[in-house]
Amino acid sequence: MRAVAGASLVALAAAASVAAEKPTFKPTDVKGALVEQFTDDWATRWTPSKATKKTPVGSETFSYVGEWKVEESSVRPAIIGDKGLVAKSKASHHAISAPLATPLDPKGKPFVVQYEAKFQKGGNCGGGYLKLLEEGFESSEFSDKTPWVVMFGQDLTCPGSKVHFIFRHQNPITKEWEEKHLKSAPAPHVGEDTNLYTLIVK
């Protein structure tokens, strides 16, 4: 019995040591077209949408009234002081955008989109994806109708949840706008762990 009790104490001490050794957040020096870590000045870059939208069936009108906050994770935080953008309103439409410093032209070089996501309270029908928008959009009117070029990330639908990669472009021959969807899109992970989603286009 003494040996078992001693092992338990060692395990508790080890667990306490691991908890004390969590890393502390430090801003990165990585450069890119947009590198966002949601530091204290995040609201100077990001604008919540105030747009309205109509549903395809019934023509009901909804507004993007979902509240956004930047805060540390409430579930299994891994880095002390590391904050993220959190959708706070249940059953509400959320949309937020930030302009690039200069328009992005990835022609002739690798193009990478990467972000982290976590469903802290489980997943329900809704999206957690990014859109790269066409130049000249109005942030406060950002909606599902805003023209975009790339859509990437997790989308929880009932049924059919997937990680989207959609490329939207104008056909040079027909002049019609087309969407090219990733075939056999993978399923997103819904859980308490942070997941890293990476898109690389060469």
> What is the structure's pLDDT at 19?
52
DSSP letters along 71-105, please?
EE-SSS--SBT-EEEEE-STT----EE---SS---
> What is the structure's pLDDT at 18?
52
> What is the structure's pLDDT at 4?
38
The structural domains of the chain, with segments of one domain joined by +, span 42-201
Query: Could you tell me the fold of the domain covering 42-201?
Result: Jelly Rolls (2.60.120)
CA distances (Å), origin 166, targets 93, 149, 155: 21, 8, 12
3-state DSSP assignment of residue 33: coil
Residues of the chain with pLDDT under 70: 1-20, 55-60, 123
Rounded-to-integer distance, Cα 132 and Cα 114, Å: 12
Rounded-to-integer distance, Cα 75 and Cα 46, Å: 24
Q: Does the pTM of the predicted model rise above 0.95? A: no
Rounded-to-integer distance, Cα 62 and Cα 55, Å: 8
